[in-house]
């Protein structure tokens, strides 16, 4: 009788272990069926009406000296958007009296397109630089340089751009986060 009792106890343990294992597998399968991958919206280009621009530049500069214009572009829209701060979209006009010394819109600088993801309420800073030489009609200054843009997004924009770059490099890692 003792052997039958021990055998029944062992058999009960085996069936309980099998039941627990199958229950866990079933729960895992149900969770996997319910789980859906996160889809992120593709950011659209910024609406020009949602962008506030502030410019800081000297009103005068000595002859032959370069000049830097600092632009701050703030996204006042309700969602993140792509802001193109490349040479094809931003320009610098330098004049002396009625003479135009440089019009960078006539001579697009590289990169022609440079898109930044700017979150709602955030801003991006862009610097346009001129070396101080007069550009000819062929878009080449005496020193060979036109206005050149350099864009720096705000810290949260840089973080989002880093996350977006990482997601493009490894889509599976983005789905796990």
Q: Does residue 40 form part of some domain?
A: no
Q: Does residue 1 form part of some domain?
A: no
Three-point CA angle 164, 168, 169, nearest 5°: 115
Q: Does residue 104 form part of some domain?
A: yes
Domain count, the chain: 1
Q: Does residue 126 form part of some domain?
A: yes
* Alpha-carbon torsion (148, 153, 155, 159), positive or negative: negative
Q: Does residue 135 form part of some domain?
A: yes
For 102-125, the DSSP string reads EETTTSPPSSS--EEEE-TT-EEE
Q: Which domain holds residue 101?
A: 48-168
Q: Does residue 17 form part of some domain?
A: no
Q: Does residue 176 form part of some domain?
A: no
The pLDDT assigned to 141 comes to 47
Write 15-23 long-range contacts (CB < 8 A, 24+): none
The pLDDT assigned to 109 comes to 67
The pLDDT assigned to 21 comes to 94
Gap between the Cα atoms of 114 and 105, Å rounded: 15
Q: Does residue 18 form part of some domain?
A: no
The pLDDT assigned to 61 comes to 84
Per-residue pLDDT of the chain (177 residues; tens, 9 = 90+): 888 888 888 888 999 999 999 999 999 988 888 887 778 788 899 999 999 999 998 888 888 888 888 999 999 999 999 999 888 888 888 888 888 888 877 776 667 788 999 999 999 998 888 888 876 666 654 433 444 455 555 554 444 444 444 444 444 444 444
The pLDDT assigned to 48 comes to 92
């Amino acid at each position: 009788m003792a052997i039958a009792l021990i055998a029944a106890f062992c058999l009960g343990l085996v069936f309980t272990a099998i039941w627990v294992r199958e229950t866990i597998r079933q729960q895992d399968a149900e969770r996997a069926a319910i789980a859906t991958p996160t889809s992120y919206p593709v950011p659209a280009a910024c609406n020009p009406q949602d962008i506030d621009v502030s410019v800081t530049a000297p009103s005068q500069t000595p002859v032959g000296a370069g000049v830097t214009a600092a632009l701050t572009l703030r996204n006042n829209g309700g969602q993140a958007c792509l802001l193109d701060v490349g040479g094809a979209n931003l320009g610098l006009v330098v004049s002396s009296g009625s003479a135009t010394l440089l019009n960078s819109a006539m001579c697009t600088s590289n990169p022609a397109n440079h898109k930044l993801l700017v979150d709602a309420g955030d801003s991006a800073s862009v610097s346009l630089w001129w070396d101080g030489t007069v550009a000819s009609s062929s878009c080449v200054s005496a020193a060979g340089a036109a206005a050149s843009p350099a864009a720096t997004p705000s810290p949260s924009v840089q973080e989002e751009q880093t996350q977006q770059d990482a997601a493009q490099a490894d889509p599976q890692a983005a789905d796990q986060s």
